[in-house]
Structure 1
Amino acid sequence: MSVTPLQALPIDQLRQRSSTKWRSYPPEVLPLFVAETDYELAPAITEILTRAVRLGDTGYTPPEPGIREAFVGFAQRRFGWTVDPSRVHWTGDVMMGVVEILRRVIAPGDRVVVMTPVYPPFFDTVEEAGGVVERVPLARTESGWRIDLRGVEAALAGGATAVLLCNPHNPTGTAHTHEDLAALAELAARFDATVVSDEIHGPLAHAGHAFTPFLNVSATAAEVGYAVTSASKTFNLAGLKCAVMVAGGPAQEEVLRSFPAEVEWRTGLFGALANVAAYAPESDAWLDSLLAALGENRALLADLLAQHLPRARFLPPDAGFLAWVDVSAYEWGDNPAPTLRREAKVALHHGPLFGEEGIGHVRINFGCSPDVLREAVERMGALASS
């Protein structure tokens, strides 16, 4: 059965929003930088939040907000992943969960493997937890990006004690394969290391690609790992604080249960309500429509780049609404984003912030209307030809 793609909201309406995407730059700049999307909320989320506002239901998050049951059902329906409900916990956002886990599984000064180019807060999170970043760049092939297993092995053999995994990967959009994730788990087990997997983009795998939850790869993965995720990227809920932490096995569950109560208390009530509604079966149709829209924009972006920036290098992402584009062939410097914002009036994420592999790159958010995406790339193309 065909799915009708979601339609992005009109830009005049979007400019009434007060979030980072729409308040960082003046109106003449098209904002395609931060990971916010331009669609209406899923109806179940709008309904539950509207009801809460009408009731004045703006107090503290209850001890059992329903997150556990909602996430377990979602993981089973969407990923075929059977999650033990007792191993599901929650906190304010994914990076909060990551840093709290790292604080418990590494000692101060321990090295943590980070696979660059990667979401910039990964670097800060490792440092906040007392660790030292050990960069192991992804391996680029003609067909996509892969975990450099030999590089990870060398880092673990050299004393790194943990791996902070991005699955699917941000910014490349790589949905790591079952084979690579299983091999990573075996390496972690061999060197007595921990894997913490950020899986916030998991629900956004494109047609022809599959998201593989790390903890569901093998018994070994469950024994060495944690997953941290949220509905916030998929359902555009970043301002409503809620994330899920999942323990792979009994030892990991003991760690999560040992957290101070404040870790759970950081969860916002609206975030909990919205995540429960997002993970509910009635939001599946909305998600399918979102994926249809993102799939069309993914293909459109490839066509637009080929037409207007033919020297750009772009591998369409396996998952998500973020595109990692190498524009180093153009004379825009090591960090092209400021030039593009100033000269083309298009705001993109700064490539070098993702690691030195990001020199000459930009990250483009294509979770917008086709018209906005087309206008943005045309502006960039006009600059390139000027």
Structure 2
Amino acid sequence: MTTPSTTTPPDPLNTLTLDQLRTRTSVKWREYAPDVLPLWVAEMDVVPAPGVVDAVSRALRDGDTGYDHGYRYAEAWASYAADRWGWDVDPSLTMTVADVMTGVVQAVSVLTEPGDVVVVSPPVYPPFYQFVPGSGRRVLDAPLTSEGRLDLDDGGALDRAFAVARAGGRAAAYLLANPHNPTGVAHTREELERLVALADRHGVRVVSDEIHAPLSGRPGVDDVPPFTSVLQVPGGDRALALVSPSKAWNLAGLRAALLVAGPGAAADLARVPGHVLDGVNHVGVIAQTAALETGRGWLDDVLTGLDTNRALLAELLADRLPQVRYRRAHATYLAWLDCRDLGLGDDPSRAFLDRGRVALNPGPTFGAGGAGHVRLNLATSTAILTEAVARMASVV
């Protein structure tokens, strides 16, 4: 009889020491002075999945560094999505793009005209406020509820914003973050069904940024609702979604994304100009594909570590900073902290940086509802997270 293994699974989040991390040259570790603990930008403190290292090393060794071609990336995503979420993705209804925000701009550009409105739900990913105006469109806010959910009621924020966006018969789009950044909320299937129905009633097209999807609960493992793509719900066939493994496998420096169309949006996808493909990083595609094909076990270990860190953060805050309100979510590696009771003003991140030497994302950059908040990146070691909260507590 085989004896069950008692070996503890590797924890990618607790592999590297602080000294090792400080040798990195990426923005997370070079933006601030060496005495600052950086828990801000969306980089994880991990060593890449072995299969990704092997695939990229092989590409460089073999000189496979030319222009990208083919559907292997899309096929890998389709396989992953089917296994993980029961999501049936047709690779022929995808287009490889340089990154998610490049794909967002292309999607918005084929669905609307310059001067049209794109609705967003703040507090939300700050680049939404940069890339959308950069494409010649106007941003209109439909804020989240006080519970951090989409406001889907009749006469609610989304209903009102959609009506304004469509005034005069102009085209309009809604840019969704699913799961939501910075709150970490994975919108439920019922919420997405209501969203699609509301958007359809107003004639608003939905574009969904789903880059954090792999960083959500695992069906049959975690006691949370599984991720649902907007393309999976009834009526979502006219939506467009942007997906990528780059956040979940920490591949921002080797980024590549997929623009995925529902069957009802196939004609819109066909109108995306072909020159978009010229910006695709072939080695990035190789890395993303390898992550999907070989890195599922590695990601499961990361997700386990993130669960540990969410619980640890809640305990640390309750003990050291009980005035800070933290609503534990089950997606992304982000924590949205309500620091308004600390008396540190609209941007508490300044005090935490200047006096605590911890770098966090300032809440006001996420739009309405961000004042008095900070975003904290949980994807680090338990030791660094513990030290960071201790430093934050020393400020108050």
Matched, 1:131 2:131: no
Residue 125 of structure 2 is matched in structure 1 by: 119
Distance 1:248 1:133, change over 3 A: same
Distance 2:17 2:62 in 1: 30
Q: What is the count of residue pairs matched by the alignment? A: 376
Distance 1:189 1:178 in 2: 16
Matched, 1:285 2:297: yes
Residue 232 of structure 2 is matched in structure 1 by: 216
Matched, 1:152 2:158: yes
Distance 1:294 1:87 in 2: 33
Residue 202 of structure 1 is matched in structure 2 by: 213
Deviating more after overlay: 340-349 vs 10-19: 10-19
Q: Say whether the 8 Å CA contact 1:66–1:276 is kept in structure 2.
A: yes
Q: Say whether the 8 Å CA contact 1:76–1:83 is kept in structure 2.
A: yes
Q: Say whether the 8 Å CA contact 1:94–1:243 is kept in structure 2.
A: yes
Distance 1:324 1:117 in 2: 10
Residue 332 of structure 2 is matched in structure 1 by: 320
Matched position secondary structure for 2:58? helix
Residue 169 of structure 2 is matched in structure 1 by: none
Matched position secondary structure for 2:336? strand
Deviating more after overlay: 181-190 vs 372-381: 181-190
Distance 2:59 2:128 in 1: 34
Matched, 1:272 2:285: yes
TM-score (norm 1): 0.94
Matched position secondary structure for 2:65? coil
Distance 2:369 2:30 in 1: 29
Letter in 2 for 1:383: V
Distance 1:139 1:16 in 2: 41
* Contiguous gaps of at least 5 residues in structure 2: 167-171
Residue 245 of structure 2 is matched in structure 1 by: 231
Distance 2:18 2:271 in 1: 46
Matched position secondary structure for 1:26? coil
Matched position secondary structure for 1:171? coil
Matched, 1:174 2:197: no
Residue 29 of structure 2 is matched in structure 1 by: 22
Q: Say whether the 8 Å CA contact 2:119–2:165 is kept in structure 1.
A: no
Distance 1:47 1:300 in 2: 33
Q: Deviations over 1:133-187 (max 9, x none)?
A: 110111123xxx2110122112212234210000000000010011110011111
Q: Say whether the 8 Å CA contact 1:4–1:292 is kept in structure 2.
A: no
Residue 90 of structure 1 is matched in structure 2 by: 96
Letter in 1 for 2:230: F
Q: Say whether the 8 Å CA contact 1:136–1:151 is kept in structure 2.
A: yes
Matched position secondary structure for 2:254? coil
Distance 1:18 1:4, change over 3 A: closer
Q: Say whether the 8 Å CA contact 1:5–1:291 is kept in structure 2.
A: no
* Contiguous gaps of at least 5 residues in structure 1: none
Distance 2:75 2:197 in 1: 30
Letter in 2 for 1:279: L
TM-score (norm 2): 0.92
Residue 382 of structure 1 is matched in structure 2 by: 394
Distance 2:21 2:67 in 1: 30
Residue 116 of structure 2 is matched in structure 1 by: 110
Distance 2:31 2:338 in 1: 24
Q: Say whether the 8 Å CA contact 2:119–2:175 is kept in structure 1.
A: yes
Matched, 1:43 2:55: no
Shift of 1:8: 3.7
CA RMSD of aligned residues (A): 1.5
Distance 1:8 1:138 in 2: 37
Matched position secondary structure for 2:374? strand
Identity value in percent? 44
